Amino acid sequence: MRPTLNDVLAGVAVSLVLVPQAMAYAELAGLPASVGLFSAALPLLFAAPFGSSPYLQTGPTAMTALLTFGALTSVGVPGTPRYVQLAALLALIVGVGRLALGLLRLGSVAYLMSQPVLLGFASGAATLIISSQIPAAMGTSPPGSGVLWRAGWTLLHPGEWHTSAIMFALFTTVAVIGGRRIHRMFPGVLLAVAAGILVSRIGDYGGDLVGTIDASFPTLGLALPWSDLGSMIVTGGVIALVGFAEPTALARTFATQERQPWDPNKELIGSGLGNLGSALSGGMPVGGSFARSSLNHLAGARTRWSGAITGLTVLVFLPFAGVVESLPKAVLAGIIITAGFNLVHYVSVIRITKYSRPQGLVGLATLIATLATAPRVERGIIIGVALSLVVHLWREMSVHCDVELSGTTLTARVGGVLWFGSSARIEELLSQTVASNPDVDRVVLNLSGAGRIDYSATLVFEQFVDDAEAAGVEVEFVNIAQSARPLLRRRMGGRAGIPVWTGDNGDEADPLDQ
């Protein structure tokens, strides 16, 4: 497959946005700007040939940057050489994890995290992302280390604000957001960066600048702090899953719109190799970008070559990266803040409670947990996933029994998922039903509301039939779900109105089990 002219144009267009974003996200992760640039070059070249979506762009993102910062601050000091090496080690762990999932064809893991958990985590992470940039946008140097604390201190001390920094951040925000309203291809980020550099040089800006950048090609190698590997595996695994789950939604959307096939396993392999490329070049963990992927699609990309063109363009730019050394950090703060706004879903999280209160509470709890566990935000999503599993198990264990009495015949409509987790409740309901109606001599168990019946539930039914018959009560099963018929026939065939199981070739064989 050869690149088209559209791929070249789209790749170059995306690179113009990627360069300043990569530096900004490196800043968010506590890394030098050059690390962000390294993470924007080789990863795209490594990922492009193996991905599935022709539009999904790999590289530094706000989410992976925040996760990286949270993972590394507990084991290293931001900005130090060891911290940079730890970032590369984390990228290696993420890469190996995604590559393994892809090769084992476990791409379905992208669907395991529920929407409430993802929305809650994204909103909490966005709050932290925006808060982390408020001091830089205001030109302050607040005391303390907590993200929310530093943001709050800045807002409560307007006397420490620097007008020039605020103007740079506001101009960047307006250029990016306002530019999108003019046209989605409007180069708002590029305009803000160019204006920031120009004004900084002409006006002798006295605020914080990007500073010295390693304007060279990355040195390839894996001289990493391997002694820290064990302590970072769990965090790396979380980043591997979280960073992949969100962009899959965008890739699926593109695939639906364009009526093209999409393979999450290939995407995992491509993303895994991209992270390996980032580790090899001394970069940080990377993921799929919503904004750049959308721009790539809008710019007319046709094949995965567009991603490779983007990476190649950034690679060519590296020796000239010194041109952005005079860029005010307030501009980078504005870029990150606008990216963070795209991840805010407060209204969506609250709206979920209108349809499902338990799921809405899971989303809100995940949001709060993400904020409370900062900077170790990966713990927030672990808590969210745990809560969603608890809610799922609680709902799976909820069974009901609606009783209708007609003379001496009692009809019990059993509903819910009948499995080993709810077996005790099923037995309790059946026993209570018969005990409260001592004059009944016939029980009809209507299983039309049973979503699934496993072996343990079948044993409960069998014991109930034995006890009822011993007490002189006739039992009959009706409206048995198709999926449960083979198991009940094998176990209880010939009793309680259930036909005898005579094997695959017998007259009574269930058609679904032949």
Q: Give the tens place of pLDDT for each residue, 42-81.
A: 999 999 888 888 888 899 999 899 999 989 988 889 989 9
Burial 88-107 (b: 16+ CB within 10 A, else e): bbbbbbbbbbbbebbeeeeb
What is the DSSP pairing of strand 409-418 with strand 400-406? Answer: antiparallel
Q: What is the pTM of this model?
A: 0.82
- For position 339, what pLDDT does the model report? 86
- For position 23, what pLDDT does the model report? 94
Residue 405, classified by CB atoms within 10 Å of its CB into exposed (0-12), middle (13-18) or buried (19+), is middle
Q: How far apart are CA 362 and CA 22, in angstroms?
A: 32
CA angle 30/34/39 to nearest 5° reads 85
Residue (of 171, 167, 162) closest to 193 by Cα position? 171
Q: How far apart are CA 20 and CA 335, in angstroms?
A: 8
Residue 115 to residues 274, 348, 465: CA-CA distances in angstroms? 26, 10, 42
Give the three-state DSSP class for 269.
Answer: helix
- For position 503, what pLDDT does the model report? 57
Residue (of 44, 43, 40, 35) closest to 19 by Cα position? 40
How confident is the prediction along the chain (514 residues), in pLDDT tens digits per residue?
677 888 898 999 999 899 999 999 999 999 999 999 999 999 999 998 888 888 888 999 998 999 999 899 888 899 899 999 999 999 999 999 999 999 998 877 766 778 899 889 989 999 999 999 999 999 999 988 789 999 999 999 999 999 999 999 999 999 999 988 888 778 888 899 999 999 998 887 888 899 888 888 888 998 899 999 988 998 898 888 887 776 666 677 677 766 777 788 888 899 999 999 999 999 999 998 888 888 888 888 888 899 999 999 999 999 999 999 999 999 999 999 998 888 888 999 999 988 899 999 999 999 999 999 988 888 888 899 899 989 988 888 888 888 888 889 999 998 888 888 888 888 888 888 888 888 889 999 998 888 788 888 899 999 999 988 888 999 999 988 777 888 888 888 888 888 876 554 444 444 333 3
Q: How far apart are CA 273 and CA 356, in angstroms?
A: 39
**CATH number, domain 400-513:** 3.30.750.24
- For position 302, what pLDDT does the model report? 84
Give the three-state DSSP class for 497.
Answer: coil
Is the Cα dihedral 322, 324, 330, 334 positive or negative? negative
Give the residue extent of every domain in the chain: 5-341, 400-513
Beta bridge mates, 401:
414
Beta bridge mates, 445:
412, 477
Residue 297 to residues 40, 349, 479: CA-CA distances in angstroms? 18, 28, 51
Q: How far apart are CA 64 and CA 371, in angstroms?
A: 16
Q: How far apart are CA 358 and CA 239, in angstroms?
A: 26
Q: What is the DSSP letter of 97?
A: H
